[in-house]
Amino acid sequence: MLGERAKLNPERRRLAERAARTARLVAERNRRAMALDDGSVAERVAQWRSERP
Amino acid sequence: MSATNFFSGNPDLVEVFDRVIPWPAVVRAVEGVDANVDETVSTWREVLDVAGRYMASEIAPRAAEVDEIGVIRENGTVRMNEPMTENLRGLAELGLASPSVPAEFGGAGLPFTVTMMLAEMLARADLSTQVQHGIGWNSPAALILRFGTEQQKARYLPILAKGGLMGAVAMTEPQAGSDVGNVSTTATPAGDDCWLLKGRKQFISAGQGDMVIVLARCVAGSTGLDGLGMFIADREGDNYVVERAEHKFVIRGSPTCALVFEGTRATALGKPGDGWKQILTFMNESRLGVGIQGIGVATAALAKASEYAATRVQMGKPIREHPMIAEMLLDMETTVAGARALAYQAAVLQDRAIFGGDQAAARDARELTPLVKWYCTEGAVRVCRLALQIHGGYGVVDEYDVGRYMRDSLITPIYEGTSQIQSLMAVKDLMKWTMQRPSSLVRGGPSRLLASASFAGRGGADFAAARGQIVGMLRSVVGGLVRRRGVGILTSRACSASARS
């Protein structure tokens, strides 16, 4: 959406580029985190479920 | 960014108003096809300008006092403090008590988008006051306008529009927060359109007021989200009890109340049994509203941090000229501008969906709502944290406002559905749409808004890469589901079952 704004007002381009770069870094980090998931959360949830009275 | 007018002194907000909002579509949806677009938009702009000046010059200077005094508790009663009452009185005198109430009931008749701009400026001035204004006046009015009988509208809307009465919306119970289907307050028919309420409500913003709209179970034996209804209860004559106001370190001026109903007389609002469907419309709007609150607080924090960093000199230069501080300020500015762009896109969609009955807009609004709530409120906490850090030791001193912004920001990712609930909602919808149209995964993904955008230059390349990562993640998740459950998961029946689970 900041990209759309930058089309209307070129002064906004730097801000839009910064936002896009941040989005790219966050998306890359999240995808990497998903790929490296070691299953420990699911294991811990299963353990707590089994302990439930 | 000027501190003398929160509208005209905020170039980003002005740019959104003047150049981004597709006003002809909003005016046509709200006022009808024959409305004069230029004249209507000019009036709305004037309202924002006058309100922005009042909020900057009158409400913001009282915010520290509102916070310091907090909620008044005396002789078993709960009430707002005097500076807060003064803030609200001023807004009512401007004709902005319940801005969305139509002119025929004495209100300003503003669209959701403009009401949200007012909310942003008010949250920047003082979040406690904004909560009282939004939940105490505007939300009950919006629900009664949408679902009330002619008698209910005639009885409540004119007085809510004038600010002569304050209400609240009570959903949460001690055992039913995000789990709305666990609501146990009951409504039993007692003849002559009267219902009797029994139960307890908790964490009710602006609950100290004169009336409350209550979500209660009205179909005996019903469970979950079925069999709920909305009911209006007046407080007059101790019809219900404001048991207490919580002691809290956020939005200290706004009473967050526990309410007790013991045979409380009430009237049905809308169709008993359809309560969940009805209140969902309120929840979508209030979630956008909380996102907007985050933008308001973050804007306040950014303005203070920018001002401080320009005047605080260390090692021979203003601290904003130190690259790490400059990086923080730029990050804050980007977050606020991004949040504002996202939120007002959703607000326009909401106007087109609610007033214009536009189904495509409703679907897009549904997609954006949890993202707005998540991004704007989590972003607010981060921006306030950075503002505090930029202030160094002064940041934790009470006479500097950033400490209050930090505290107040912390409530925004919690109420009206936590960030975790927003994530679940967003992922659930995204998965449902992906599985209904798996072919979208070889293009730009199931989100029309994401898939249709493209930009030139470095920003465009980063945007495309980010979208590629998101679509890649969806491919992995859907691939995993298909491997575990078979291709049948992609049929519509399996898809709805999966989306429910």
Q: Residue range B418-445: average pLDDT? A: 89
Determine how β-strand B256-273 pairs with β-strand B228-234.
antiparallel
Q: Of the ranges B263-272, B437-446, B488-497, which is most confident?
A: B263-272
Residues 6 or more apart whose Cβ sits within 8 Å of residue B82: B69
Reported as a single tens digit per residue, the pLDDT across B105-135 is 999 999 999 999 999 999 999 999 999 999 9
SS3 (DSSP) at B196: strand
In this structure, CATH architecture of domain B169-277: Beta Barrel (2.40)
Q: What is the mean pLDDT of residues B294-306?
A: 98
Angle among Cα B370, B453, B350 to the nearest 5 degrees reads: 40
Question: How many angstroms separate the CA atoms of B418 and B396, rounded?
Answer: 26
Minimum distance, in Å, between the CA of residue B76 and any CA atom of chain A:
41
Q: What is the mean pLDDT of chain B?
A: 94
**pLDDT tier for residue B501 given thresholds of 50, 70 and 90:** very low
- On chain B, the residues whose CB falls within 8 A of the CB of A18 are 330-331, 334
Question: At CB < 8 Å, which residues of chain B contact A?
Answer: 15, 19-20, 330-331, 333-334, 337-338, 341-342, 345, 453, 455, 457-460, 462-463, 465-467, 469-470, 472-473, 476
Are B208 and B248 contacting, i.e. CB atoms less than 8 angstroms apart? no
Q: Do B330 and A17 touch (CB under 8 A)?
A: no
Contacts of residue B7, defined as CB under 8 A and 6 or more positions apart, other chains included, come to B13, B14, B17, B48, B49, B51, B52, B53, B117, B121
Nearest Cα residue to B61 out of B79, B83, B93, B82: B83
Question: Looking at beta carbons, which residues of chain B come within 8 Å of A10?
Answer: none
Given a cut of 60, whether residue B391 has pLDDT beyond it is yes
Surface-to-core class of residue B355, CB atoms within 10 Å of its CB (0-12 exposed, 13-18 middle, 19+ buried): middle
What are the structure tokens assigned to A43, written together?
Answer: 């294991």
Q: Which amino acid is at B238?
A: D
> CA–CA separation, B99 vs B50, rounded Å?
14
Of B153, B155, B149, B261, residue with least CA distance to B215: B261
When pLDDT is cut at 50, 70 and 90, the band that residue B491 belongs to is low
Domain ranges of chain B: 169-277, 435-500
What per-residue confidence (pLDDT) applies to B499? Answer: 44
- Mean pLDDT throughout B452-456? 84
| Residue B272 phi, psi dihedral angles, 5° rounding | -55, 130
**What pLDDT is recorded for position B218?**
96
Contact of B431 with B498, CB cutoff 8 Å: yes
| Chain A interface mutation, best of B16, B367, B462, highest count of A Cβ atoms under 10 Å | B462
Say what the pLDDT of residue B88 is.
98
Q: Which of B120, B173, B285, B416 is catalytic?
A: B416
Average pLDDT of span B289-312? 98
pLDDT tens-place string over residues A1-52: 888 888 888 888 999 999 999 999 999 999 999 889 888 999 999 999 999 9
- Using CB atoms, which residue from B19, B333, B345 is nearest to A15? B333
Which whole number is the average pLDDT over B39-53? Answer: 98
Say what percent of chain B tops pLDDT 90: 81
Reply yes or no on whether the pLDDT at B448 is more than 90: no
d(CA B419, CA B206): 22
B168 touches B194 (CB < 8 A):
no
CA-nearest of B311, B299, B451 to B367 is B451
Eight-state DSSP code of residue B136: I
Give the pLDDT confidence score for residue A4 in this predicted structure.
Answer: 84
Alpha carbon distances (Å) from B444 to A30, A42, B249, B385? 18, 30, 44, 35
pLDDT tens digits for range B193-206: 899 999 999 999 99
Q: Which whole number is the average pLDDT over B353-374?
A: 93
Identify which has the larger pLDDT, B380 or B434: B380
Give the closest-approach CA distance of A25 to chain B in angstroms.
Answer: 8
**Is the Cβ pair A22, B334 closer than 8 Å?**
yes
Q: Is the pLDDT of residue B494 over 80?
A: no
Confidence of residue B438 (pLDDT cuts 50, 70, 90): confident
Q: Is B246 an active-site residue?
A: no
Pairwise CB contact (< 8 Å): B337 & A15: yes
Spatial neighbors of B499 by CB under 8 A, at least 6 apart, are B428, B431, B432, B435
* Long-range contacts at B147-155 (CB < 8 A, ≥ 24 apart): B147/B230, B147/B269, B147/B270, B147/B278, B148/B232, B148/B269, B148/B270, B152/B232, B152/B267, B152/B269, B153/B105, B154/B105
pLDDT value, residue B500: 44
Reported as a single tens digit per residue, the pLDDT across B74-92 is: 999 999 999 999 999 999 9
CB contact under 8 A, B459 and A1: no
Would you state the structure tokens that stand for residue B302, as one six-digit string? 């950014």
Among residues B169, B168, B217, the alpha carbon closest in space to that of B195 is found at B217
Confidence at B3, pLDDT banded by 50, 70, 90: confident
Token pair 């906004």 is found at A12
**Which residue blocks in A1-53 are alpha helix, DSSP H?**
2-8, 13-35, 40-51
pTM for the whole structure: 0.94
The ipTM value here is: 0.90
Output the CA–CA distances (angstroms, integers) from residue B314 to B116, B196, B321, B364, B392, in the order listed: 39, 65, 10, 48, 12
CA distance B338 to A16: 8
Task: Look at B473 and A16 and tell me if their CB atoms are within 8 Å.
Answer: no
Give me the pLDDT at residue B282, please: 83
Query: Do A3 and B460 make contact, defined as CB atoms within 8 angstroms?
Result: yes
Confidence of residue B73 (pLDDT cuts 50, 70, 90): very high
pLDDT at residue B498, rounded to an integer: 45
B337, B338, B476 ranked by CB distance to A34: nearest? B476
B216/chain A closest Cα distance in angstroms: 30
Predicted local distance difference test score (pLDDT) of residue B2: 65
Are B337 and A6 within 8 A, CB to CB?
no
